[in-house]
């Protein structure tokens, strides 16, 4: 990264979008390019959802969550994704995790957060807001290829149904539904390559750092 885009103060990049839209790949690329810290907030909800599936009270699961559990590979499964969507639909869980996310977003040296309500609720004043989307079919194809490498028995139809069910919950929940934040750059990755999407997001951040 060039000196003209180096930043040492708080600087927040908010990435929102539905499941398998590519926002995680973009977020990690931005963090690597600009030296920012990166948080996949979906892992917070996956971890809470997993604990709920084990019988733990949702709020207790959120309030006692420790960052170390976010590295658990089990949180990347389709089952964990379904659990996350259910956990995220509970306002009390969202409230319990909000302080963690807000504090992370304002750390010195910059931060990239991706999720469903980063630009609308968690960080409405983020320096850069990006909404990443794609058709359900395109997202299901990506997720199927990812999951099939670990589970040859999984079907595309099952993955598509999972994507559509999660979209329904995420977009229609009463608290912080998934939507594009005001002023956000919209990236539709249905036909756009991930390299082009990363390049567009990188330009947006670099331009904002110069102002």
Pick out the residues of the known binding site for ATP.
17-25
The number of CA neighbours under 13 Å toward the Cβ of 37 is 16
Q: Which residue has the tokens 């983020």?
A: 126
DSSP string of 13-73, one letter each residue: EEEE-STTSSHHHHHHHHHHHHT-EEEEHHHHHHHHHHHHHTT--HHHHHHT--GGGGG-G
CA distance 113 to 195: 19
Annotated binding-site positions: 17-25
Q: Which residue has the tokens 């892992």?
A: 43
């Amino acid at each position: 990264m060039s000196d003209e885009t180096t930043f040492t103060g708080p600087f927040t990049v908010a990435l929102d979008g539905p499941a398998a839209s590519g926002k995680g790949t973009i977020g990690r690329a931005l963090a690597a390019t600009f030296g920012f810290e990166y948080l996949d907030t979906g892992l917070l909800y996956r971890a809470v959802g997993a604990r709920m599936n084990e019988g733990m009270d949702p709020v207790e699961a959120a309030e006692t969550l420790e960052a170390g559990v976010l590295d658990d590979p089990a949180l990347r499964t389709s089952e964990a994704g379904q659990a996350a969507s259910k956990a995220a639909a509970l306002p009390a869980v969202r409230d319990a995790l909000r302080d963690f996310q807000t504090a992370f977003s304002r750390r010195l040296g910059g931060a990239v957060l991706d999720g469903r309500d980063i630009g609308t609720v968690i960080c409405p004043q983020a320096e850069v807001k990006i909404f990443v989307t794609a058709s359900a079919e395109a997202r299901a194809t990506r997720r199927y290829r990812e999951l099939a490498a670990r589970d040859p028995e999984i079907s595309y139809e099952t993955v598509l149904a999972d994507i559509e069910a999660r979209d329904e919950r995420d977009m229609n929940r009463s608290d912080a539904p998934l939507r594009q934040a005001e002023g956000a750059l919209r990236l539709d990755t249905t036909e756009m390559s991930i390299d082009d999407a990363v390049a567009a997001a990188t330009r947006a951040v670099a331009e904002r750092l110069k102002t």
